[in-house]
Structure 1
Amino acid sequence: MDLSGVIRVKRGSSLLATLCVAGGMFVSQAYASVSVSEAEQLKSVLTPMGGQREGNGRDIPPWRGGLTLPPVEYKEPGQHHPDPFPDDQPLFTVTAQNMNQYSNNLTEGQKEMFRTYPDTFKMPVYQTRRTAAAPEWVYENTYKNALRAELADGGDSLLYSYAGIPFPILSDNKNQAGIQAVWNHITRWRGTYLQLQASEVAVHKDGKFTPTTVEQQVEFNYYRQDKTIEELDNLLFYYLSVTKAPARLAGGAVLVHEPLNQANDARQAWGYNAGQRRVRRAPNLAYDTPIAAADGLRYADDTDIYNGSPDRYNWKLIDKREIYIPYNNYRLTSNEASYNDILRPGHLNPEYTRYEKHRVWVVEGTLKDGMRHVYSKRVFYIDEDTWSIAVADQYDMNGQLWRVSMAYIKTYYELPVTWTGMDVFHDLRDRRYHVQGMTNEEPEEIDYSNPPPGDRYFTPAELRRRGRR
């Protein structure tokens, strides 16, 4: 849907005529996001996603389009990704002993990881490579969204946004910018349809673990090119997963219909119990509901580092910083590394991880009065080039740093899309952690090659059928 003919609506003016053009929708007090001259920055000083094109003149290079072509070793969809930078070596390694030297480029959670595991946790820092990339049509929609996307219901609802980042240019108002940045993460480009078989593990204090293997399908309805804004029907994505192992859990399945605006429609979720052979509604699969396979180490809205309605927190943009974050983690996701190679007591094996210095937006969420959640505060470090939360620091109800989550980002150059290759959730008190998205011992990685199966596929009936197989 092209709203380019109505982009000059002024702030504070009525959008009645605009909304008629947009298909008859009416929402009061919605105003234009940025001016045309501001949006043009996405074609010059800013990347098409809203990051700074220029480098810092030292160790962050300019963005020059990202990584859009696979290396010659990559032959077919689903293949484990060959490292496009096999000769890169660490520039230096941050340790508990030298962390003060790099303190300005570390998150509070990373510092606490060094304090918790002073002898073993390390961060190998490599040359920064700004590999983030997306298709041109995503860039084009992001430009249009900059001119038309709006927030309503106190920031809990997103309007007039489609198939791109809603707010590539953040507001000058810190509170509005904070919620805009969170929406950018929630709706960021992750592909249109993917199939994946991956394992997740809860790693105990002694390093022992038992993988749970899950087959997943996700259709990002928001990025369906054959739809319009009106035809999105307030759906962000469909998610269907079936547990394959261990045997005691095999056959269990979950289906989620994720609304774009949960102020209008609540998340719909269903679960299939293989033992009972019944599909049941799962209305509580949100916010701080514990995820069973994570052994209490991940809550529902921790998935993807953060997901779901942002309505329980007051969000505020703190600043923009240069931080060492996980990036281009091809070695970590390689099929040449086993789970035993990667998983260590307390944290991942540092020999397989890669960190780079990138600019991040720092966003703080504080729990609203009258709302409940196990986290009183969350601090997100959001990669400027992708709007992915790379690191999240989470605080308990006493204001103490409790948990640290990290997304080990890489570029799926066959699409292209820059997203996580593995998410890790650390409990600093229990000295345990949970890893989601491991494909090292699976025959394939994410397969983006197939067309979306369509809305009618993601139904409770399909959930029952898939769970029985």
Structure 2
Amino acid sequence: MNNKILSACSLALACTLANHAALAAVSPDQAKQLGSSLTPIGAEMNGNADGSIPAWTGGLPKNSGTLSSEGFLSNPFANEQPLFTITSQNAGQYQDKLSPGQQAMLKRYPTYQIPVYPSHRSASLPDAVYKAAQENATKAKLVEGGNGLEGFSTAIPFPIPQNGLEALWNHITRYRGGSAKRTHVQATPLASGKFVPVYFKQQFTFRDRIKDFNPASPGNVLFYYKQLVTAPARQAGDVVLVHETLNQVKEPRMAWIYNAGQRRVRRAPQISYDGPYPASEGQRVADNLDMYNGAPDRYDWKLVGKREIYIPYNSFKLDSPTLKYTDIVQPGHLNPAHTRYELHRVWQVEGTLKQGERHIYAKRVFFIDEDSWQISLADHYDSRGTLWRAAEGHLTPLYDVQVPWLGAEALYDLINGRYIVSGMRNEEKDPVEFGFSSLSSEYTPAALRNAGIR
């Protein structure tokens, strides 16, 4: 692949810091770039040279459209048409702005397409998050060899990242509304496109939205997560509970499963790293969810630099309530008639499995959107160096609540021809709820049995 890295400073940074984890925060002078040459969370304020990526002007205003009773936002770009569409026939013209995974998908599936639309830097966050990120820049530090944080508040500890670990932590801790409840649907279609939808009720609360959280003694929990399967009947009532820790090496993630058929709660240490994720038919491991999650300690992470690349963005059309799940889930891949890609700057971060460590992925490459710190594309390689799985995260900026939201995320298996897509809610009637407060007692193993009653 022609891996075009942008800007001399990014290239110098990559060469200097590729194998070095700088544990210190940036200086106050460096932090002054935030809000001037850089956005409050560290993206380049200016557009690119030819104007195909515009300057950041604050993102979409909160009043950019309307909100339905089911929680669907109107599409502020509904009248736009693709500038062009990348197909297997013309992919060579655009390969310097495609990930290896995208190029592989175009080769494997003649029906896979990348419709490219005008770029809009629509991501915005609340002022309180911008303030926290600016304070984090001079206070947050990596600890435990880069596998934990200290001096961190709210979201985005390293808006000016100095290495791959810091960029990855920005994704792990990025702003997602503080807390959220949603109903969503997952599909794992066969090669024919047939699938049985799996319905979930999902809830998470970051620590500063926990009512009994004490900032003076914050502990090691980053957020609490709970997932209930409501259908199909054979899986209904099963619940996953996770206490996500900031330092998972010192204190590993705590996870439990409530099995409705057995009516018992048990610890679930397998819900981490490459353990099989429940209800995924073997198409996703635990740390594939949310594009990447969990402890970063099994890999050496390298900050390669920045690229301009076509990534899924402003995916209002894919989230539309006018679509059925059968309109979206097609043989081999999502229906490209409903996807949208734009040219954006991304941080490229590569993870190589450490000697002596075990994981089914020997190498991972992440492409992280500079305006949200959301991983937009992820490529996963097996032990032979073969590109095995490619993931796409279809970001939708929920402008009314200022949350750059990961809606549908798809993980494609380039070897067996199957894929898994989760996060769809097109046919659901319950809106996503953000910003509520919870008690930590709502996220205890004792509470699982009540949550899982059929």
Cα distance in 2 for residues equivalent to 1:440 and 1:30: 43
- 1:456 partner letter: S
Counterpart check, 1:365 vs 2:357 = no
CA contact (8 A) 2:23 2:142 kept: no
Counterpart check, 1:55 vs 2:47 = yes
The residue that corresponds to 2:107 in the other structure is 115
Q: Deviations over 1:256-292 (max 9, x none)?
A: 1110111221111111111111111112210001123
Of the three residues 330, 346, 360, the one matched with 1:344 is 330
Q: The residue matched to 2:32 in structure 1 has which SS?
A: helix
Shift of 1:444: 2.9
The residue that corresponds to 1:64 in the other structure is 57
Q: Which runs of 5+ in 2 are unaligned?
A: 1-20
Cα distance in 2 for residues equivalent to 1:88 and 1:183: 34
Of the three residues 34, 37, 43, the one matched with 1:45 is 37
Cα distance in 2 for residues equivalent to 1:226 and 1:52: 37
| TM-score, normalised by the number of residues in structure 2 | 0.92
The residue that corresponds to 2:179 in the other structure is 193
Cα distance in 2 for residues equivalent to 1:299 and 1:435: 13
Cα distance in 2 for residues equivalent to 1:321 and 1:349: 26
Identity of paired residues, percent?
Answer: 48
Shift of 1:294: 1.3
Cα distance in 2 for residues equivalent to 1:445 and 1:368: 42
Cα distance in 1 for residues equivalent to 2:151 and 2:415: 43
Shift of 1:251: 0.8
Q: Deviations over 1:202-257 (max 9, x none)?
A: 01111110011011111011566995644431111111111100011111111111
CA contact (8 A) 1:234 1:260 kept: yes
Residues 1:138 and 1:153: Cα distance change in structure 2 (over 3 Å): same
CA contact (8 A) 2:210 2:438 kept: no
Of the three residues 148, 155, 172, the one matched with 2:139 is 148
Q: Deviations over 1:406-440 (max 9, x none)?
A: 10001011211102111100000111100011101
Shift of 1:35: 1.1
Q: Deviations over 1:124-175 (max 9, x none)?
A: 000000011110000000001000111122111111111121111122xxxx
CA contact (8 A) 2:24 2:142 kept: no
Counterpart check, 1:249 vs 2:240 = no
* Runs of 4 or more consecutive aligned structure 1 residues displaced over 3 Å after TM superposition: 29-32, 222-231
Of the three residues 94, 103, 106, the one matched with 2:95 is 103
Q: CA RMSD in A?
A: 1.7
CA contact (8 A) 1:160 1:229 kept: no
Of the three residues 383, 402, 411, the one matched with 1:397 is 383
Note the 1:373-384 alignment, pairs <5 A: 373-384=359-370
Counterpart check, 1:454 vs 2:430 = no
Q: The residue matched to 2:434 in structure 1 has which SS?
A: coil
Q: The residue matched to 1:43 in structure 2 has which SS?
A: coil
The residue that corresponds to 1:8 in the other structure is none
CA contact (8 A) 2:133 2:156 kept: yes
Cα distance in 2 for residues equivalent to 1:335 and 1:71: 18
Shift of 1:84: 1.6
- 1:88 partner letter: E
- 1:87 partner letter: N
The residue that corresponds to 2:7 in the other structure is none
Larger displacement relative to structure 2 (348-357 or 236-245): 236-245
Residues 1:121 and 1:389: Cα distance change in structure 2 (over 3 Å): same
Cα distance in 2 for residues equivalent to 1:45 and 1:228: 35
Residues 1:392 and 1:60: Cα distance change in structure 2 (over 3 Å): same
Cα distance in 1 for residues equivalent to 2:214 and 2:441: 18
Of the three residues 162, 165, 168, the one matched with 1:182 is 168
Cα distance in 2 for residues equivalent to 1:225 and 1:129: 37
Q: The residue matched to 1:293 in structure 2 has which SS?
A: coil
Cα distance in 2 for residues equivalent to 1:289 and 1:346: 24
- 2:227 partner letter: S
CA contact (8 A) 2:181 2:432 kept: yes
